Amino acid sequence: MQIVELLRSMDIFDSIDDRQLQEIAGLLEEHRIPAGTALFREGDAGDSMLIVTAGRIRLSTNDPSGRERVLAVFGDGEFFGETGVLTGEARTANATADVDSGVVILAKPEFDRFIAGNPAVMRAMLRVIAQRQALANQRLIEDDDEGTAQRRGSGNVLSVFSPRGGSGKTTIAVNLALALVKQFADRVALVDLGVTFSHDALLLGMDVSEGLAAIEPDRLENLDRETLNRYAYLHDSGLRLFTAAVRPEEGESVSGEHVKSVLELMKRQFLFIVIDLPSNFNEPTLAAIEMSDRLLLVVTPELAVLRDMREVLRLFNDTIRVPRSKQFTVLNWPSSARVLSREQIEDSTEMPLNAEIPHGGDGVYRAYVKGEPVMLSQPGAPFSKAIERIAAELVEASGAAPTPPSPARGRLLGKLFSKRS
């Protein structure tokens, strides 16, 4: 029954009854795929549907010059190639294992024998594919309308900064990215720029084994999407996480050039890029600030923090030259006690507060410890609502139009298989 329930989570099977799902589950075959292995190539016969159970599979095509263009990256529990198992049409892209991966395969010959006795299943699945193709065509039309602006890189970079640790900066950055994913599906990235200690993956309950520091300096000038996507870690929400460095000693390898090259490419790939900045002005931080469309400054009602924020604003205004229009000040209440008023804080920093996040209580702390973002585990909490308001204001200022979410790709099926690469 567990397999049937997981298959039910896939939109392509959602109108098929339990008996039929049980039969389909019995047709699945599990395979391990070494890194770099091609599962199929453009033009191959479409003879199967594949479901990723571990690792990462890259779907791509080659342009006339032979350069690879990455179309999608599929992670645990996602599926692709469903048209092949239904119609047998030739593959329109290449599928390659980015890392050692696991897949389960639904082969067309076995599926055809099943369909012969269940013709209604074919009709139901074709209906879902037609709906999905209509959505894909609509997105292509929208992309064509955006045209040159997209090629220039019109993504919005939102950086989150605080002069002192413990301000809630990382919690805000992670949950802000998740709030944006709700509106913009798979077009949001989160960059953890903590080059000494990175915590974003912990808050998301994810394991990260490789960071952007691994990109060799001589590849930065011609950085392509394929290379960048090797360092993307897909969260169940659809958020893509990029980590600058996974070990403290790797942090020295991350330069301002790393940050600029990565963000220039990300701006062409994502609508929103949220950056969790470290609490110091190193070279990567300055490069990110320079490329940011909005800079969220997180303050807490503490005298030391307010003093440091005054110095930060002085640097922004007199030295680094960050326009006031880019600055977005967020007051985060770390406790329920209100020793200072909002007016006193504004007077101290000599800058109006744009947003306020209430004290989240034990719920936020427990979410932090368990690696369960508040935005997902407690969507109705005051903290989550405040983050959603901030996201809405930033989206409105950017002029971006929310996109309909992609149809579910059956992420839960990956839970059948506990293997991870």
SS3 assignment, position 234:
strand
pTM: 0.63
Q: What is the DSSP letter of 95?
A: E
Between residues 172 and 236, which one has the greater pLDDT?
172
Highest mean pLDDT among 54-68, 87-101, 113-127, 365-379: 87-101
CATH 2.60.120.10 occupies which residues in the chain? 2-143+407-416
Q: Which of 23-37, 89-103, 216-230, 327-341 has the lowest mean pLDDT?
A: 216-230
* Per-residue pLDDT tens over the stretch 311-353: 888 888 877 888 888 999 999 988 777 778 888 888 888 888 9
Beta bridge partners of 329: 297
Between residues 120 and 40, which one has the greater pLDDT?
40
Report the pLDDT value the prediction gives residue 345, as an integer from 0 to 100: 85
Beta strand ranges found along 28-87 (DSSP E): 29-33, 38-40, 48-54, 57-62, 68-74, 79-80
Token pair listed for 279: 């609490």
pLDDT higher than 90, residue 418: no
d(CA 31, CA 85) in angstroms, rounded, equals 17
CATH 3.40.50.300 occupies which residues in the chain? 149-379
Beta bridge partners of 49: 106
Q: What is the DSSP letter of 305?
A: H
Maximal C-alpha separation, the chain: 75
Which residue intervals of 117-199 are DSSP H helices? 119-146, 148-152, 169-184
Report the pLDDT value the prediction gives residue 163, as an integer from 0 to 100: 87
Q: Residues 6 or more apart from 289 whose CB is under 8 A from it?
A: 159, 161, 277, 295, 320, 322
Average pLDDT, the chain: 80
Percent of the chain with pLDDT over 70: 81
For residues 172-179, average pLDDT: 95
CATH 2.60.120.10 for domain 2-143+407-416, yes or no, is yes
Encoded amino acid at 268, one letter: R
> Nearest-CA neighbor of 273 among 320, 241, 308, 226?
241
d(CA 357, CA 75) in angstroms, rounded, equals 33
Fold of 149-379: Rossmann fold (3.40.50)
Report the pLDDT value the prediction gives residue 421, as an integer from 0 to 100: 33
d(CA 220, CA 257) in angstroms, rounded, equals 7
SS3 assignment, position 191:
strand
Encoded amino acid at 260, one letter: K
d(CA 71, CA 58) in angstroms, rounded, equals 8
> Nearest-CA neighbor of 316 among 346, 339, 349?
349
